[in-house]
Structure 1
Amino acid sequence: MLKNYLNVAYRNLIRHKGFSFLNIAGLALGVTACLLIGLFVYDELQYDKFVPNGNRIYRVYTQQTGSHAPDIHSSVSPMFATVLKQEFPEVEQTMRILMTGTSLNLLEVGEKKIYIENGLFADSTFFGVFQLPFKYGSAAHALDAPTSVVLAEDVALRFFGNVNPVGKELKISKSTFLVTGVLENSLSKFHLKINYIVPLAAAQLPKKRMGNWGWQQFYTYVKLKPGADANQTQAKLQNYLVQKVQPTLSEEDRLTSVPYLQPLFEAHLYSSSFKYDPGVKGNITYVKALSIIAAFILLIAGFNFVNLATAKSMQRAKEVGIRKTIGASQQQLMLQFLTETVLLTLVSVVLATVLTALLLPPLNTFTDKSMTFDLLRSPALLGLLALLTVVVGLVAGFYPALVLSSFQPVKVLKSAVVTEGIFGRVQWLRHGLIVVQFALSVFLIICALVVFKQVSYLHNKDLGFNRDQIMFFPMRGENMNKQYETFKNELQQVPGVVSTSIGYGFPGDQVAGDGLIVPTNGEMKEHSVTQLMVDYDYIKTLGLQLVTGRDFSKELSDDKDHAFIINETAVKEFGFGTPQQAIGQTVKWTVWSDTNPDSLKVGKIIGVVKDFHYKSLYDKLEPAVLQIFPAAYWKVAVKMKGENIGSSIEGVKQVWAKFSPDSPIEYRFLDENFDKMYQSEDKLQTLLWVFTGVAIFVACLGLYGLAAYAAERRKKEIGIRKVLGADVSTIVGLLSKEFVKLVVVAAVIAFPVAWLVMRNWLQDFAYRIDIPLWAFVAAGVAAALIAFLTISYQAIKAATINPIKNLRTE
């Protein structure tokens, strides 16, 4: 019996190839999209879950109060770890991290020299907080000695091969370290990128500065004792700062931020708005949105499958009548239809697994992940797909099977089409489904258009400086740092080089903030600013515009030690009134160094530059101060002519080799650096276009099924109208009018939702577009046009059939 059911099912599938293809393709596409999104969401949710006792680990972050309330910083003062460990008995352990930056990333073993990023200075308690797995060595005392270093497995492999490197020497920026451990290559789901870790003691930081509450460059983690309440600890920490710390600080040193404890498991997905965060950032909003989209696509694909199956089953009414006449029972007929739909579902799910396996590698490349899809090693996923096959197959087949198997043979054989019964009672459900489908489609079209406009704005906005043909790279080696002026002069002689600047804080760099003491309302007050340590050609090289005053000059020896240039935002923040009134104002900066940790640099403002975006457009422009300070110089910017850039680059490399032959040059172009800032937006744009296409295709399948069903039900009406003189356009309009109305309703629902969602998304950007009204018009027109074209096929097909064929059974 089952073999017979399968044979009949197969014949029906082959007989109606086009219809079967649409049905299978729609469900397969929906399942594929759901699987791919599900794998991505699952991967995002796994970050830090492997860390033992991760539920007791928290990261300290601060949120600015007052005018800077939205600013959230994951880097905090080194004093937080000290206070939490000494004053809070519920704290089991604390640990601080300081990023090594590019000043400590040249690793050497023998003749092998490689620049390795993502190095960390960390307290010796690092592995007491994060119990990461070791391949060689052990966590115990791994960071106790100032000259110890722990490597990631792939870094150890590059330098030492497959041998155990524990006890071997490795140079980091010419300083010798001893390898004490190697971490396993299982940290892809850790929120911090780690290639090597050296003790914080190796940084040799001034002790006085380590006790400063204003130096906020440390990433601090807290491990609470079992049973400790994080909310209570957080409240105690906030009160401690108000009651114990603030009274000890001077007026200009008062803290303007509130500390919070962030659970470790939230560090990856809930830190997208954090400033200066070195972690691997995800976005919980995107994860939730993708999950909702996946659920909608799967649900809609399933309903479409039911719609198409129902529409097709209407043509089999006579088959049912004949089967019942020769003795088939209602249960046998139901089993026949259920077998057919389960077979179709099985084919769809198998096709979806194949598509998922094929699309996962490019998705991994696109998202920079290493997701796997192995059903043999994932019994839960295999079981879920099996359950999906059975449930969708039974649900899709049960409805038409129940209705058709209940027909009376006399009525069925008398009429070729059933025009009454349960099929007509759920019209609101079918129409509601079309509204939901096209509302989702219109919503995604609007979102895709708005994201496209914002991304274009990010890439093309005038940043206030010329970023084209500017090559920049960090200086390497003691010789280059000592002879930076000679190095710069020789770079200037390279054919094609227009200008060269050496300094700290070029646009696109992650520049730490600092304090500047300025006259405010008759008294000197400290303001938070971004310090850019520049040379005499910084403004010329970047093409900055002076609003008033003058540039730094080599002819004026006083400029090196007693001159400052500020931006327009600083003029407003400092309360100077106009740029002209800022000229000549006296300001002070605290100079931190090993020899004199709290000396003051006092000077006057000699110029004001037009605001320029040295950070991404996520961040609002902040007060910036430019000053000559050679002790901080570490990066070179070279402005080149537009032609023969290749030969100019080779000339720069030759000069580099002369001053730093032992270190390879690592360079980028400034425009590439800025484009890299918006990679996540570029990827979001691509994903939205893909999901928009999928949603539209699935919606069209549903509309196609409903249009086919409507045309089938009204075959005789159409035949009568044609006999009475109705033309094709009239028939097409008759069948299309109702469905186009549904699309209009869908657009009306989608418009306000899309506006709210996009408005909230744009709030993340300090500089953003206004939501364009034409995007709503374009989305509505596109959806209506797509719907009309989908319906027209069935409508024209029904309108062009010879009316005699529809009326001859009467």
Structure 2
Amino acid sequence: MSHQMDARPPDWPLRLLRFFVKEEYLEEIEGDMEEIFLTNVEQLSLAKARRIYTWDMLKLLRPTLIKHFKTIPTFNQFAMYKNYFKIAWRNLVKKKAYSFINIFGLGLGIACCILIFMFVQDELSYDNYHTKRERIFRVIHGESVPGKPTEAGSGPFWVWGNAPIGPALKSDFPEIEKVVQFSGRSDILLTYGEKVYQEDGVFFMDSAAFDVFSWKLLKGNPKTALAAPYNIVLTESTAKKYFGDEDPIGKVLKGSESPGRSNRGDYTVTGIVADIPSNSHFRFNALLSLSTFRNSLPEIFGEWGYVDFYTYFLVGEQFDEAAFKKKIPDFLSRHKAWPDSRYFIEIEPLKDVYLRTKAERQPGETGSLPNIYVFSVIGLFILVIAMINFMNLSTARSMERGKEVGIRKSVGAYRSSLVSQFLGESVMIVLLSGLIAAILVMIALPNMSALTGKELNIERFITWQTISLFVALMLVVGLAAGSYPALVLSGFNPIMIMKGMVRSSAGGINLRRALVVFQFTLSIALIAGTIIVYFQMNHVLDKDLGFDKEQMLVLDYNYDEEVNKKSEVLKDILENNPSVLSVGFSRSVPGSYYPHAGTELETPKGDMEMMGQPIFQVGMDFVSHFNLKLIAGRNYSREHPTDSSQAIIINEAAARQYGYSNPAEAVGKKFAQWGRSGVVIGVVKDFNFASLHRNIEPLTMPLVPYACRYMSLKVKTDNIQETIKAVGEVWKEIAPHRPFLYSFLDDDFNKQYQSDVMFKRLFTTFSGLAIFIACLGLLGLATYTAEQRTKEIGIRKVLGADVRNIVGLLSKDFILLVIISIFIATPLSWYAMHRWLEGFAYRMEISPWIFVLAGFIALSVAVFTISYQAIKSAVMNPVKSLRSE
């Protein structure tokens, strides 16, 4: 008996049957199936009976037994969707202005978002081409700040460091598989036949480079290409420059010599590497074998205090970064690196090198993670503003289709079919906008590449991931924008609709108002940000740097000994030209490369203390030539022959570094630097020899005329081209073996702000587009409001209202919304831009007038946009608007 009670058929086949089968057959079928099931239980088994029962139930789902569902239409599905498409298309054509604003505005917003996405993706893709990138790290070198403990993170960092660190790491840490070291950039004069070029972007590179980095070697053996002394590997474009279509392998390039490195000699081409991708933090034109450098100066490869190398390494698959870092202090202690110093090291993964590094002295360019965030937010803002326009116009225009909805519901349309119709129309419009966006992206891409200085190629970004993301974005935008009108319209009572008793609900009106406030809040924040970015960049580019950089012509001769020997002759000849005001020589000029030096200087206590600082090795007239202000002591003088070996000039920051609050007190104090010793003879006023992103550092300027690289000429503004031509002729006569390479100092110095200028251009461009898109939406809403109140306007005009009254009537609501937006946007934009300005050591103050101006601009644009439609409605003949009454 208990067995019979437990013998029950499964539930879900019975529920399925009850759902699909006509009710007149259910009772008979259920009874028969239960009898068959019980019989099978007795004759077979419970499990087998349940399987037979399930299968028999599924076989009963035949067309003659299935009931008719009201939700499943009996008419042709294709015809229904064809009808939906026709209605959607007619609505678009009927209201051309709204259709244009909707489709073009959203398309422009999507296009801006795609362009910003391409830029951001390019920035995030740096060094991704290295197949072993997850296992590549590099050493960064640090020095703790005096008075603070010697520990990681307590002081400044440099990527540029010493050579012994590499072999020491390899010997002490078995988890390191390969170490690659290369020298700082070594510009070199290369000659092949009649072709002579001062080649920049040249490095002395370790032979293990091709085992670590994924540089594609087109010709040559990666194991031996950089093994022997005087081997050279060229990039494909560099090889073509020298050899054309000839096979470069085995050819010989003649190299000149740079100071401290024996570059002079014949270099055999042993490899050709494909041009380095643009999204690489480290790029080069040629690689010299590191063994060449080692042969000429073997002693520096064992000196922990000699700085001229970058150290990268490859680790094993099971590398534990945290455990490795804990071993570093013992490692440094064991090797007694820089005894009694504050020296320490950290490691940095390759994936963080471009955007997240905290180290200076990079081997290549770096990006800005905050800028990536800013542009991502702007892209999101633009897309949101465009979506708000679309939603506002969709919800506003949806009320005009009330009668259509009423008729459909009266003839039996279900709410679900109406929802799907309106959502489908919304998605269709968004897909049209997506097509417009794709066309706009293709048109704008060359300009975007020019703005960013990047090779933004559309083919690089067309992947199945990006296509899937784009389609998903279109669907999300379409469904989000169409959801409100679809749900509201489909819920109307058909009787009330047909009687004309349906109006925009308070909820719909408030939603549109809230969306207008939100989009103008974003727009005003962008306007304020644009003003701040503009004035900050002007502040940077126009700031008095403390030296003359205008009309300063700079010639780069790369430390050429013959030129340095003839420097006085060159100076005399060129200064005889009335267009040349003065000539100076130096190893560095403001904004260019400069080394660091360890300098011992006598403190107020009488001790000799070692400190590190930048160093400008200069010629005799550097101070006066650049118009530096001498605030204590004297300048270098030809009347003091010992100045070249026993004197030094420092800046105010260096005097403070050694404890002198009064610069005059540092004059006469003893110093020792790089084998030279003597006394401080002068102190110059601090000047910005580096980027304004940084505070002025301590600086020493020893007189070393034989180590100079640059000749700078202060020239008159008249006939610049004639002056350059005359200087070039003198150069060919005095130094015919070197190319005539010149530039202007202000241009070179401002190259430090290339990324800031690019940021300014992008920020301004996309902020302007965001404001334009917001105004498109405002124009659409104003036009709709005016149309809805056409009869009211006609009646008011008949009763005596003038144009001013009508314009005020139509404008006041929108202007109030913009004013509310101003109060919301001001604190938000102040906070965001305050954070951005923190990246500059010298920054403008954010004044209240900026937000007043931003608000005034937004209000003016809104008033102008609304007034166009308001005036158009106000001057309309009232007879036309009242004709139907």
TM-score (norm 2): 0.83
Native 8 Å contact 1:437 1:695 kept in 2:
no
Shift of 1:696: 1.3
Structure 2 distance, partners of 1:353, 1:191, is: 30
Structure 1 distance, partners of 2:431, 2:677, is: 78
Q: Show structure 2 runs of 5+ residues with no match.
A: 1-78, 149-153, 257-263
Q: Is 1:231 equivalent to 2:322 in the alignment?
A: yes
Structure 1 distance, partners of 2:335, 2:450, is: 51
Shift of 1:144: 0.8
Q: Equivalent residue for 1:680?
A: 755
Structure 2 distance, partners of 1:686, 1:776, is: 20
Shift of 1:237: 1.6
Structure 2 distance, partners of 1:804, 1:238, is: 90
Please give the secondary structure, in 1, of the residue aligned with 2:458.
Answer: coil
Q: Is 1:546 equivalent to 2:636 in the alignment?
A: no
Structure 2 distance, partners of 1:347, 1:193, is: 42
The alpha-carbon distance between structure 1 residues 385 and 531, as it changes in their structure 2 partners (threshold 3 A), is closer
The alpha-carbon distance between structure 1 residues 265 and 695, as it changes in their structure 2 partners (threshold 3 A), is same
Structure 2 distance, partners of 1:809, 1:503, is: 87
Paired residue for 1:270, among 327, 339, 356? Answer: 356
Q: Equivalent residue for 1:403?
A: 488
Q: Equivalent residue for 1:184?
A: 274
Partner amino acid, structure 2, of 1:249: P
Q: Equivalent residue for 1:597?
A: none
Shift of 1:264: 0.5
Superposition pairs of residues 66-465 of structure 1, within 5 angstroms: 66=145, 71-102=156-187, 104=188, 106-173=189-256, 175-185=265-275, 187-204=277-294, 206-241=297-332, 245=336, 249-250=339-340, 254-255=341-342, 257-271=343-357, 274-322=359-407, 333-334=418-419, 336-374=421-459, 378-415=463-500, 418-419=502-503, 423-465=505-547
Q: Equivalent residue for 1:610?
A: 685
Structure 1 distance, partners of 2:841, 2:417, is: 66
Partner amino acid, structure 2, of 1:184: A
Structure 1 distance, partners of 2:728, 2:799, is: 86
Native 8 Å contact 1:60 1:74 kept in 2:
yes
Q: Equivalent residue for 1:596?
A: none
Q: Equivalent residue for 1:595?
A: none
The alpha-carbon distance between structure 1 residues 454 and 377, as it changes in their structure 2 partners (threshold 3 A), is closer
Q: Is 1:62 equivalent to 2:146 in the alignment?
A: no
Native 8 Å contact 2:178 2:208 kept in 1:
yes
Q: Show structure 1 runs of 5+ residues with no match.
A: 592-600
Native 8 Å contact 2:227 2:291 kept in 1:
no
Please give the secondary structure, in 2, of the residue aligned with 1:554.
Answer: coil
Shift of 1:410: 3.6
Shift of 1:58: 1.0
Shift of 1:550: 1.6
Shift of 1:792: 4.0
Residues 379-388 or 258-267, more deviating: 379-388
Please give the secondary structure, in 1, of the residue aligned with 2:615.
Answer: strand
Structure 1 distance, partners of 2:433, 2:136, is: 45
Q: Equivalent residue for 2:47?
A: none
Native 8 Å contact 1:311 1:708 kept in 2:
no
Structure 1 distance, partners of 2:460, 2:302, is: 55
Deviations 1:580-615 (A, max 9, x none): 222211111123xxxxxxxxx111122222222211
Q: Equivalent residue for 2:721?
A: 646
Shift of 1:3: 3.9
Structure 2 distance, partners of 1:708, 1:424, is: 20
Aligned residues: 790
Q: Equivalent residue for 2:126?
A: 47
The alpha-carbon distance between structure 1 residues 464 and 397, as it changes in their structure 2 partners (threshold 3 A), is closer
Q: Equivalent residue for 1:8?
A: 87
Native 8 Å contact 1:414 1:809 kept in 2:
no
Q: Equivalent residue for 1:658?
A: 733
Native 8 Å contact 2:564 2:706 kept in 1:
no
Structure 2 distance, partners of 1:376, 1:210, is: 44
Shift of 1:649: 1.6
Q: Equivalent residue for 1:620?
A: 695
Partner amino acid, structure 1, of 2:534: F
Superposition pairs of residues 452-601 of structure 1, within 5 angstroms: 452-475=534-557, 477-520=560-603, 521-591=605-675, 601=676
Shift of 1:735: 5.0
Structure 1 distance, partners of 2:293, 2:725, is: 35
Structure 1 distance, partners of 2:328, 2:510, is: 57
Residues 386-395 or 125-134, more deviating: 386-395
The alpha-carbon distance between structure 1 residues 643 and 728, as it changes in their structure 2 partners (threshold 3 A), is closer
Structure 1 distance, partners of 2:822, 2:470, is: 34
Residues 649-658 or 214-223, more deviating: 214-223
Residues 788-797 or 746-755, more deviating: 788-797
Q: Equivalent residue for 1:598?
A: none
The alpha-carbon distance between structure 1 residues 383 and 190, as it changes in their structure 2 partners (threshold 3 A), is same
Deviations 1:711-768 (A, max 9, x none): 6777787778778776665565455444434333333332223222222222222222
The alpha-carbon distance between structure 1 residues 761 and 334, as it changes in their structure 2 partners (threshold 3 A), is closer
Deviations 1:254-285 (A, max 9, x none): 13x542211101111223x6422232221111
Partner amino acid, structure 2, of 1:484: S
Residues 636-645 or 736-745, more deviating: 736-745
Shift of 1:384: 3.8
Q: Equivalent residue for 1:786?
A: 861
The alpha-carbon distance between structure 1 residues 368 and 302, as it changes in their structure 2 partners (threshold 3 A), is same
Please give the secondary structure, in 2, of the residue aligned with 1:358.
Answer: helix
Structure 1 distance, partners of 2:511, 2:802, is: 31
Residue identity (%)? 39
Native 8 Å contact 2:557 2:741 kept in 1:
no
The alpha-carbon distance between structure 1 residues 393 and 632, as it changes in their structure 2 partners (threshold 3 A), is same
Q: Equivalent residue for 1:18?
A: 97
Please give the secondary structure, in 2, of the residue aligned with 1:86.
Answer: helix
Shift of 1:391: 4.0
Residues 343-352 or 454-463, more deviating: 343-352
Please give the secondary structure, in 2, of the residue aligned with 1:27.
Answer: helix
Native 8 Å contact 1:536 1:554 kept in 2:
yes
Please give the secondary structure, in 2, of the residue aligned with 1:533.
Answer: coil
Partner amino acid, structure 2, of 1:499: S
The alpha-carbon distance between structure 1 residues 82 and 747, as it changes in their structure 2 partners (threshold 3 A), is farther
Partner amino acid, structure 1, of 2:356: Y
Deviations 1:126-170 (A, max 9, x none): 222213211111311221111111111111122223444222222
Shift of 1:57: 0.7
Structure 2 distance, partners of 1:645, 1:617, is: 28
Please give the secondary structure, in 2, of the residue aligned with 1:188.
Answer: coil
Structure 2 distance, partners of 1:243, 1:428, is: 71
Structure 2 distance, partners of 1:379, 1:294, is: 22
Structure 1 distance, partners of 2:480, 2:748, is: 53
Paired residue for 2:850, among 775, 790, 802? Answer: 775
Native 8 Å contact 1:419 1:713 kept in 2:
no
Shift of 1:70: 6.5
Structure 1 distance, partners of 2:202, 2:623, is: 32
- The structure having more radius of gyration, on CA atoms, is 2
Shift of 1:616: 1.5
TM-score (norm 1): 0.90
Residues 435-444 or 372-381, more deviating: 372-381
The alpha-carbon distance between structure 1 residues 757 and 387, as it changes in their structure 2 partners (threshold 3 A), is closer
Deviations 1:637-669 (A, max 9, x none): 122223233222222212211232232111111
Partner amino acid, structure 2, of 1:547: I
Shift of 1:327: 6.9
Shift of 1:227: 0.8
